[in-house]
Amino acid sequence: MEIAGAARRHDVVYANSQKAFVLAALANAVARRPLVWHLHDIIDGSHFGGGQRRLQVALANRFAARVVVPSEPAAVAFANAGGRTDLVEVVPNGVDIVRDPRTRDALRRDLGLPEGPLFGVFSRLAPWKGQHVVLDALAALPEARCIVVGDALFGEKAYAAALRAQAERLGLGDRVLFLGHRGDVPVLMQAVDAMVHPSVSPEPFGRTLIEAMLARTPVIATDTGAASDILDGGAAGTLVTPNDPAALRAALAGVLSSPESLAARIDVAEARARARYGVAAMQDAVSAVIARVAAGARA
């Protein structure tokens, strides 16, 4: 009742998480205020149980005035789960970074990173994020090293431990640096030869892809979820088959063998990130959705 009371004092209720939406939808039965759900996930069996999916979609179909999603794959997943397509508004996430003026060599020296071929993986440590595939690919590239930035968050400590054990088993103990959570991800991205986004299940967006594009660092990503749309089908980066160490190894080797060939693609990537994925553009688009919902309610 407390949420319902708060909702009655406003023209529109905006729910920015799964939990917030469920609570707001239940309160909406009493408050009767337009409800906007900003859905940041892909609703499928990779991430949610059947009962949870059915509840989310049923509440959205009944109570949501709009469902905002960050990408077309997220919109398709919502529809495939039974969601009403007329509710959906695609608003890409906004990302801005400030590039560090130091050269890559200077950044590595100042950050204490090794010289030579160096790749980076930036995400929480979880099986569906695919860091284990990177380790398998790296084992076939004896000249390369990798930094793994991020750590376990949601009961995934066993996977984090398994990654370290895998690195030792593959003889990568001195070539893979597990850096844990860091507050300087954009700077670290500028220091590596390429950023690897190895998810084995679809992602609704991919913030690190945009960060790397703005950092002018080559991107290698698995062709699943929103990656293909963000990278313009491969024009702004390299797409590989998910959960395929051989394909990933070939892409990594390509970066090392002909870095000069990536220059044009890096220009395309940076321009695309600035044109499509700015913070101001996202704020304007979300504000426009809320304004339309409020206007419709008043009418």
Domains, the chain, in order of start with CATH, read 2-93+279-298 (3.40.50.2000), 104-276 (3.40.50.2000)
| Spatial CB neighbours of 86, under 8 Å, sequence gap ≥ 6 | none
Between CA 244 and CA 50 the distance in angstroms is 28
Task: At 241, list the tokens.
Answer: 């088959």
Between CA 226 and CA 17 the distance in angstroms is 19
- How does pLDDT run across 213-269, given as a tens digit for each residue? 999 999 999 999 999 999 999 999 999 999 999 999 999 999 988 877 788 899 999
| Spatial CB neighbours of 27, under 8 Å, sequence gap ≥ 6 | 1, 3, 4, 7
Residue linked to tokens 């407390």: 2
- How does pLDDT run across 256-268, given as a tens digit for each residue? 888 777 888 999 9
pLDDT at 152: 93
Low-confidence ranges of the chain (pLDDT < 50): none
Query: pTM for the full model?
Result: 0.91
The proportion of the chain whose per-residue pLDDT surpasses 90, expressed as a percent, equals 81
pLDDT at 298: 67
